[in-house]
Structure 1
Amino acid sequence: MNANEPVKLRKRKTRTGLYSLYLDTYANGKRTYEYLRLYLVPERTREDKRKNKETLQLAEAIRAKRVIEYHEGRYGFDKGEQGKVLLFDYFEAQARERTGKTRTSWINCIQYLAQYETRKSITFAKISPEWIEGFKDYLGAQKLAQNTKSLYFAKLRACINQAYKDGIITDNPLKRVGSIKHEESKREYLTIEEVQRLAETDCDSEVVKRAFLFSCLTGLRKSDIMQLQWGDIHKEGDYTRITFRQRKTGGQEYLDITHEARELMGEEQGAEELVFAPFPAVSTISAVIKAWTARAGIRKHITFHSARHTFATMMLTLGTDLYTVSKLLGHKDIKTTEIYAKIVDKGKQEAVARIPSILGKEE
């Protein structure tokens, strides 16, 4: 990287031990910082090194784009030109900063934006509350699931909010625009009896069976279970403790597990060895679980994530308080956990049980 370039890629260590990547821009006598929401992890394994390499390549691509924008006089480096930043250019730049399914949803949103607003030259100065409401109505008329509409509209909101934070717009038009309501989806889970039946039923993949039951007993996501290494496992008195970083949120977690959960992990291996391996291809895991649950006589649409729902409902059924369940699941907001409280509502169950017989039969 040329030392004279106005945009430099830098990193800053966070309190969680990750390194946050950001751009340091010096232009027109002023210095600005743009945090990329990209993070480097401590390189403990070959997989960590691979991920860091990909992250750096993405960050460098963003930096290179900012340099081009600077030389073309775009992207808000000139305070007087900020309202002229192109919506689609900025939105696409934001999409490139995302990864996986999140990036896909941003890209899908762009496609609907392009159908609604055919002028690729539209600037943020033209984005009004009425324009946003128009896109909201446009999505509402599409043959999409309610939650998909909510998701795509949330991406536009995220883009505009980020533009406001970056100083590209001085007045946020979203102040007068509501969101598209998210429809609460059904969370399929297993009863304790059904989990016991699964434990007694043969599965086509031994590692999927162990990992799924492990998730039922710990609440860990599939992504966290698949990357769990023996170096993350520690003995703490009578308990076995797992120390790991959530793949989804990046949060550092400490989780004590039961003796049965430890038993499902199998015999200890080297520190960098995966606990649950070899996992079958992600595309086949659902089919394995479908066949397994059918074999156990369970007529529910069960996915691997249902194991996490099972853990949450089981904890609440056993009387664990909502705050503790929230911490066990690694939720940052207890409102996320409250959804499970609707599933397990003992007050409602007790109220229904008190309804007297109307058919003249004794129970």
Structure 2
Amino acid sequence: MMHEKEIIRLRRKRIQSGESLYLDSYFKGKRRYEFLRLYLIPERTKADKLKNEQTLRLANTIKSKRLVELFNNKYGFSNEKPEVNLIQYIRLVMENKEKQGKTGIKSTFETLIYHLTKYRGERILLSDLDDRYTKGFVLYLSTAISRTSGKTLKTSSQHNIYTSLKTIVHQAIKDDLLTTDPTQSIDPPRMILPHKEFLTEEELKRLIQTPCSKEIVKRSFLFCCFTGLRISDVRELTWKKVIVEEQGVHINYRQKKTKIENYVPLSENAISVLPPKDDKSDSDPVFTLPPETTIRKTLKEWMTNAKIDKHITFHCGRHCIFSYSLKISSLYESLY
């Protein structure tokens, strides 16, 4: 049986990637385990050792908070906020999300850390995150300088940085390190949407009539124009997802970005730009596209040859949606 000073113990559980930290509580004959979602990694370098020290400090802070909460309830004292360093906490969240396979997280949170440090330094505590601090951070972002370009942050960058802070706040609430959301009542940085290029019907006709150095790029771009698909969805479209029925042809696919299942009837235009299936299997891709750099270069050359002086990307194409307004089936051999 534990003595009162050992009511809550910080323990470790060995896992494949290192050790998982958890709290083992025993009070009034009841045992409770709380896994902290904090992990120790093998110490191969000095940096690994430093990370583990930071993780243990945070784990012990949470342990102390649980003890305070326990004795508050026992003796009727008022609650106290845990003293957890904000920058340290962001780094730990970043590392845990990386372990979960979330790519791109490090760059996003490093940018947040950079600007939070510029704003108020590294010694800010989670418990100091209030409306005043958050409102001041939004004001700071409006004139902040990018750490990479040396220029004032774009409104989209300001919005993304603030969204990252909200992610941290919500995680801290889940971890019982914050009780309120200081970002809830604050207006986020307002985004000024950039001008979006698009193709007119006349320009699309010119593109169709203009040769392209890579036919598969031409067909896939026109397919986006006639269906509204993203290039990521076009890349993953297989012949199995192209369904031919008496009523017509449609595709069933799950959007890569939103994970939403979609049913899209194909117009004559969309069908006409599908490449020949020939002897391809159902698991083969419909459009075998080259790398992104090649696609951009090919599109630029194609636009220039068609006398279109616009910066057109696949994303522009998907917003055209010329599904039924233009008849072009005579320009391509229909697949069906």
TM-score, with length taken from structure 1: 0.64
Evaluate the alpha carbon distance shift between residue 126 and residue 233 of structure 1 in structure 2; reply closer, same or farther with a 3 A threshold: same
Evaluate the alpha carbon distance shift between residue 308 and residue 67 of structure 1 in structure 2; reply closer, same or farther with a 3 A threshold: farther
Q: What is the match of residue 92 of structure 1? A: 91
Provide the C-alpha distance between the structure 1 equivalents of 2:203 and 2:36, rounded to a whole number of angstroms: 50
Map 1:193-272; keep pairs closer than 5 Å: 193-268=202-277, 269-272=280-283
Give the letter for the 2:196 counterpart: R
Q: What is the match of residue 274 of structure 1? A: 285
Provide the C-alpha distance between the structure 2 equivalents of 1:302 and 1:227, rounded to a whole number of angstroms: 22
Question: Bigger shift: 235-244 or 225-234?
Answer: 235-244
Indicate if the aligned counterparts of 2:197 and 2:311 stay in contact, CA closer than 8 A.
Answer: yes
Provide the C-alpha distance between the structure 2 equivalents of 1:72 and 1:163, rounded to a whole number of angstroms: 12
Indicate if the aligned counterparts of 2:225 and 2:323 stay in contact, CA closer than 8 A.
Answer: no
Map 1:134-173; keep pairs closer than 5 Å: 134-142=136-144, 143-173=152-182
For residue 292 of structure 1, the aligned residue among 295, 302, 307 is 302
Evaluate the alpha carbon distance shift between residue 24 and residue 108 of structure 1 in structure 2; reply closer, same or farther with a 3 A threshold: same
1:84-111 per-position Cα deviation (integer Å, ceiling 9, x unaligned): 3332233234445374566643432232
Provide the C-alpha distance between the structure 2 equivalents of 1:27 and 1:198, rounded to a whole number of angstroms: 67
Indicate if the aligned counterparts of 1:7 and 1:66 stay in contact, CA closer than 8 A.
Answer: no
For residue 111 of structure 1, the aligned residue among 110, 114, 138 is 114
Give the letter for the 1:259 counterpart: E
Indicate if the aligned counterparts of 2:269 and 2:324 stay in contact, CA closer than 8 A.
Answer: no
Structure with the greater alpha carbon radius of gyration = 2
Aligned length: 270
For residue 79 of structure 1, the aligned residue among 66, 86, 98 is 66
- Following TM superposition, by how much is the alpha carbon of 1:138 offset from its aligned partner in structure 2, in angstroms? 1.7
Matched, 1:132 2:139: no
Provide the C-alpha distance between the structure 2 equivalents of 1:316 and 1:102, rounded to a whole number of angstroms: 41
Provide the C-alpha distance between the structure 2 equivalents of 1:316 and 1:85, rounded to a whole number of angstroms: 58
1:65-96 per-position Cα deviation (integer Å, ceiling 9, x unaligned): 99994696257465357733332233234445
Counterpart secondary structure, 1:240: strand
Map 1:31-46; keep pairs closer than 5 Å: none
Give the letter for the 1:137 counterpart: L
- Identity percentage over the alignment? 26
Map 1:295-310; keep pairs closer than 5 Å: 295-310=305-320
Give the letter for the 1:79 counterpart: R
- Following TM superposition, by how much is the alpha carbon of 1:173 offset from its aligned partner in structure 2, in angstroms? 1.5
- Following TM superposition, by how much is the alpha carbon of 1:208 offset from its aligned partner in structure 2, in angstroms? 1.1
Provide the C-alpha distance between the structure 2 equivalents of 1:67 and 1:241, rounded to a whole number of angstroms: 56
Provide the C-alpha distance between the structure 1 equivalents of 2:223 and 2:90, rounded to a whole number of angstroms: 40
* Structure 2 residue ranges without an equivalent (≥5): 1-10, 26-30, 38-50, 69-80, 145-151, 327-336
* Structure 1 residue ranges without an equivalent (≥5): 10-22, 36-64, 319-363
TM-score, with length taken from structure 2: 0.68
- Following TM superposition, by how much is the alpha carbon of 1:5 offset from its aligned partner in structure 2, in angstroms? 5.4
